[in-house]
Copies of this chain bind each other. A is one copy, B any other.
């Protein structure tokens, strides 16, 4: 709620405006649907602010998020043609990162994930985007492919005003500790419990 009052006013010598404009690290975790969808909903707001949106999907299947990808690429085109909103870049690991000249990193998911993180780190250093969505990024962290402490340190020291949203189950505790906003998506009821499989438009 935009008009919410903070529960605590910290004694950190910063004005409310300075605190208000602090860039955020947001984590959406938990076992239930909604982690990525909420991240993309947040990216809609960022797009409307004219921020550069960078999406990095750390998933194997290129089929995932195709609905969101199509919609965001359409919004990026709206920006190009009319100046409305912000530019959009959408990168996915599944078929090899689009910037990569290496063929066949696809076979080595750990290497591909590390390559993705190296690129994001570079972009954070150059302040490329206003909002980063690191979709399913908790998995390469969980599996030890990418060093969590490197991520935490990089995020803590990123320059400028860059928001970062990270999604996926089992977010590491040190990432949760480092984040400003953490939501756990908790299952109350899921159609698969009643024998229903995924369907287009809902699951992808």
Where the two chains meet, the residues of A that have a C-beta atom closer than 8 Å to any C-beta of B are 1-10, 12, 16, 19-22, 24, 26-30, 32-34, 36-42, 44-49, 51, 61, 63-64, 66-68, 70-72, 74-75, 77-78, 84-85, 130-131, 163, 176, 179-204
Contact = CB atoms under 8 A, between A and B. Distances in A.
Given A181-B190, A191-B24, A49 B200 contact: yes
B68 A203 contact: no
Contacts of A64: 2
Q: What is the copy number of this chain in the assembly?
A: 2
Given A19-B196, A33-B181, A51-B201, 10 more contacts: A19-B195, A37-B38, A38-B185, A40-B41, A40-B44, A46-B67, A181-B190, A183-B185, A184-B186, A185-B186
Contact of A20 (B1, B9, B198): B198
A68 B41 contact: yes
A4 B192 contact: yes
A35 to B, nearest CB: 8
6 contacts: A21-B199, A33-B181, A38-B38, A75-B75, A182-B189, A183-B185
Contacts of A190: 181
A37 B42 contact: yes
A39 B41 contact: yes
B63 A183 contact: no
Nearest to A176: B188
A19 B189 contact: no
B45 A201 contact: yes
Contacts of A71: 44-45, 47-48, 75, 85
